[in-house]
Amino acid sequence: MKITIIGTGYVGLVTGVSLALNNNKVVCIGRQTKKIDEINEGRSPFFEPGLDELLTKAVNNKSLCGSDQLIENVKNSDIVLIAVGTPTVNNKIDLSQIEEVAKEIGKGIKLARKYIVIAVKSTVIPGTTEKIVLPLLEKYSGKKLGKDFGLSMNPEFLREGNAVEDSMDPDRIVIGQADKKSGAHLAKMYESFTCPLLFVPIKTAEMTKYASNALFATLISYSNEIARICETTKDVDVVDVWRGVHLDHRLTPSQSKIVIKNNRVFPGFVSYLFSGCGYGGSCFPKDTKALDAYALELGLEPGIISRVISINRTQPLRVVALVTSGLKKVKGSRIAILGLTFKENTDDMREAPSLPIINELIKQGANVVCHDPVISVRKSSAVTDLGAILVDSAQEALKGSDAVIVLTGWAEYKKLTPSFFKKHMKNPLLIDGRRIYGKDMLESGIDYRGIGYNKK
């Protein structure tokens, strides 16, 4: 495919080289003559291990070149990638370069006589591609999305120092698509790659990039917050602390405990990166609170740990908010709760998110009926003392209910079908507090609402 990449910096050039060496013809557009000349001589304008060698190969086999002719190259392209900078200015993202190139690309689309997909590869906040890039493309081209050109967001996940490896052998390729035609056209660019391709809405692709970077930034800051506590505690070396932490098989699985799905190793750590109604049990709640209090005694401000506790304390109320937004009124309604324990495969109710949720719903006048596979009447005092009713089956809990909230990911709940909910409920409102169901529930006529998903 003929690909034009706007930007000769870190993302643009590394991406260009990898695509050029995978059966594509690539032109990298830049403004500085010196940079363009260096690229055309097979020399990278910046240092990245292994890049010069691959760049030379791509230039010599004429699959990549540098140019300053943006409009001319855009009009002859199959795909145009935007890979310009999006710096932070006054604590806000600066999209001036994005806006500028979108205008120029629009002028190129105007002259084109074929379908072109424009894909944003720069890191941009959700909504940028559709609310800023798209209007400019349509304005300056005089053409419309769909028939004349496609739109996509294709985030990069390159690590500086390992960018060549990440680009030539990526973990995944995320394609945010305005429509299926755009996504399918862009995917042709990656035909020779063997990693998973994930097709998602454009704003989801934009958010995925930020979520990925913020996760690793949080881990670094968290490790440094622990270091501060160690520094203030005599004879505690943070290096020794992390050695003990790292040997947890959820982080560094031994051969006997490796879980493989679709040829991918899934360490247990991944299971903690699913959003839900909060953590509970005998460890996390008390231990985070104790560590927070200890740090305060030392005169430190444990911002990350304190915020972790705060988010977990208020997360159950997000579930209640989903219920109240879906019902005309909570008072007098019958609400079913499926799952009481803080997680599946345990009967532990300590600090379970179900308790504050039940408590709040009853305060608002709801009639709450609960079921859990392992919580019998004998063990249900924590629930019944709040005023809720415990029944023996999910079917009985759902019978005549106005809403159902799933709070534990028990296997038997995962098997429940849309027809099951529709059969036993009035007008099914399903609140998924563990995200064990897919959005396809909506297609079945169920009012589906889940943590982390806004259907509006």
Query: What residues act catalytically?
Result: 283
Which structure tokens are listed for 371?
């079921």
142 token code pair: 């005089």
Beta carbons within 8 Å of 349's beta carbon, 6+ residues apart:
340, 341, 342, 355, 375, 379, 382, 383
Say how far apart CA 341 and CA 353 lie, in whole Å: 8
Residues contacting residue 90 through CB under 8 Å, at least 6 positions apart: none
What contacts 73, CB < 8 A, 6 or more positions away? 4, 27, 29, 67, 108
Element (H, E) at 59: helix 51-60
Which residue carries 């809403």 as its tokens?
Answer: 403
> Cα–Cα distance between 21 and 168 in angstroms, integer?
9
Give CA–CA dist 157/195, Å, rounded: 13
Closest CA to 407 of 324, 316, 331: 316
Residue 421: Cβ within 10 Å count: 23
Q: Are strands 88-89 and 92-93 parallel, antiparallel or unpaired?
A: antiparallel
Report H helices in 190-344: 202-231, 238-246, 284-297, 303-326
The two beta strands, 260-261 and 264-265, are: antiparallel
Taken in order 238, 240, 243, 244, the sign of the CA dihedral is negative
Nearest Cα to Cα of residue 31 among 47, 45, 51: 45
- Residue among 390, 387, 356, 385 at smallest CA distance from 374: 390
Q: Residue 363, Cβ neighbours under 10 Å: how many?
A: 12
3-state secondary structure of 42: coil
Can you read off the two tokens belonging to residue 316?
């159950």
